[in-house]
C-alpha cells in the first residue's frame, strides 16, 4: 500500500519517500494533527496551534521541534519574534510505501500509528465538510462515492491509481494557471475554493475467501496437507 500526502503546493515540488527515521518522527497523533493544520491552513505559532488543538503550549512547542528536526516543517523567517516563532509545512509531497518496512519489526508500531491516524484525518475531513454550511452549488459539486464491483490485478489497481492522480494533476495545473491569469489581469475575489480530493483503493476479501481463511485457522493441521498430485494445500 502506498500513501501520498500533498503539502502546500503553489508550484511543482519534490517528492519525499519516507524512511524509517522520518516515519518514527511523524507517527504521533498530535504531531500528525499539527502537520495537517499547517499544511491545510498555512503558517501558525505554537500559541495559535495550542488554542486550536486544545493542548498545552509547551507540549505543542515540543512536537513542533520534533517535526522540524525531521524536516516536516520549517520556521518562517522574517516573521514573529524570538519568543513567538512561526512555523510552516515544508513544501514537499510525502510518499510512503508500506512494503519498504516489511522486514523492519521496529517500524511496525509507528507504521500502524501513521496509517490509522491518516485514515482518521481523511474521515474527519469528510465529516467536517458535511457539518459545514455550503451553498447548493457546492453540495451538488461535492462527491462521496464508492465503486465495489471491480475485479483487478495489482498492476491494474496501480494503473488505476496513477490515472486518477494524473487527472487531479491536470485539474490542479489548469486551476493554478487560471488563478495566475486572473491575478495578473484583474485582481479580486474568485469563486474558487480550496478543495480536497481523497483516494482510497484496496482489495476486498470476498465471503468465500473469508470462509476459507477461517477454516484454515480452525484446522491448521490441514494447511500443509498435499493432494495426490503432490501440491500443497496452501
- Give CA–CA dist 33/78, Å, rounded: 25
Q: What is the pLDDT of residue 182?
A: 76
Share of the chain above pLDDT 70, in %: 81
Q: What is the pLDDT of residue 79?
A: 83
Q: What is the pLDDT of residue 210?
A: 64
- In this prediction, residues 20-48 reach a mean pLDDT of 97
Question: What is this structure's pTM?
Answer: 0.79
pLDDT digits (tens, 9 = 90+) for 128-161: 999 999 999 999 999 999 999 999 999 999 999 9
- Give CA–CA dist 56/73, Å, rounded: 20
Q: What is the pLDDT of residue 82?
A: 74
Query: At what angle are helices 29-41 and 46-53 packed, to 10 degrees?
Result: 110
Sign of torsion, CA 136 142 143 144?
negative
Max alpha carbon distance in the chain (Å)? Answer: 79
Q: What is the pLDDT of residue 232?
A: 35
Contact indicator for 11, 99 with CB cutoff of 8 Å: no
pLDDT digits (tens, 9 = 90+) for 172-229: 999 988 888 876 655 555 689 999 999 999 999 887 776 656 565 565 554 443 333 3
- Give CA–CA dist 169/163, Å, rounded: 10
As annotated, the residues of the chain forming the CATH 1.10.10.10 domain(s) are 2-144
Is the pLDDT at 163 greater than 90? The verdict is: yes
Contact indicator for 20, 101 with CB cutoff of 8 Å: yes
Q: Where residue 77 falls among pLDDT bands split at 50, 70, 90?
A: confident
Contact indicator for 104, 19 with CB cutoff of 8 Å: no
pLDDT digits (tens, 9 = 90+) for 105-123: 999 999 999 999 999 999 9
- In this prediction, residues 74-94 reach a mean pLDDT of 89
Exposed, middle or buried: residue 96 (CB in 10 Å: 0-12, 13-18, 19+)?
buried
Beta bridge partners of 73: 89
Question: For the structural domain made of 2-144, what CATH number should be given?
Answer: 1.10.10.10
Q: Which of 23-32, 166-175, 202-211 has the lowest mean pLDDT?
A: 202-211
Q: What is the pLDDT of residue 226?
A: 31
- Mean pLDDT score of the chain: 86
Q: Helix (H, G, I), strand (E, B), or coil: what is residue 14?
A: coil
Amino acid at each position: 500500500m502506498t500513501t501520498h500526502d500533498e503539502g502546500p503546493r503553489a508550484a511543482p515540488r519534490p517528492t519525499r519517500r519516507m524512511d524509517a527515521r522520518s516515519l518514527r518522527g511523524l507517527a504521533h497523533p498530535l504531531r500528525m494533527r499539527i502537520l495537517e493544520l499547517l499544511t491545510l491552513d498555512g503558517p501558525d505559532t505554537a500559541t495559535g496551534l495550542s488554542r486550536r488543538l486544545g493542548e498545552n503550549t509547551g507540549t505543542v512547542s515540543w512536537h513542533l521541534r520534533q517535526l522540524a528536526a525531521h524536516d516536516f516543517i520549517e520556521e518562517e523567517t522574517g516573521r514573529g519574534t524570538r519568543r513567538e516563532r512561526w512555523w510552516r509545512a515544508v513544501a514537499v509531497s510525502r510518499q510512503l510505501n508500506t512494503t519498504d518496512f516489511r522486514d523492519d519489526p521496529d517500524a511496525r508500531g509507528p507504521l500502524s500509528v501513521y496509517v490509522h491516524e491518516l485514515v482518521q484525518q481523511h474521515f474527519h475531513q469528510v465529516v467536517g465538510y458535511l457539518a459545514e454550511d455550503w451553498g447548493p452549488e457546492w453540495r451538488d459539486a461535492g462527491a462521496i462515492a464508492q465503486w465495489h464491483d471491480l475485479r483487478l490485478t495489482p498492476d491494474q489497481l496501480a494503473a488505476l491509481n496513477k490515472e486518477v492522480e494524473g487527472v487531479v494533476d491536470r485539474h490542479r495545473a489548469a486551476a493554478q494557471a487560471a488563478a495566475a491569469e486572473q491575478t495578473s489581469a484583474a485582481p479580486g475575489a474568485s469563486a474558487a475554493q480550496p478543495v480536497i480530493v481523497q483516494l482510497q483503493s484496496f482489495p476486498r476479501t470476498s465471503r468465500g475467501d473469508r470462509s476459507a481463511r477461517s477454516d484454515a485457522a480452525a484446522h491448521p493441521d490441514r494447511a500443509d496437507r498435499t493432494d495426490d498430485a503432490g501440491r500443497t494445500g496452501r
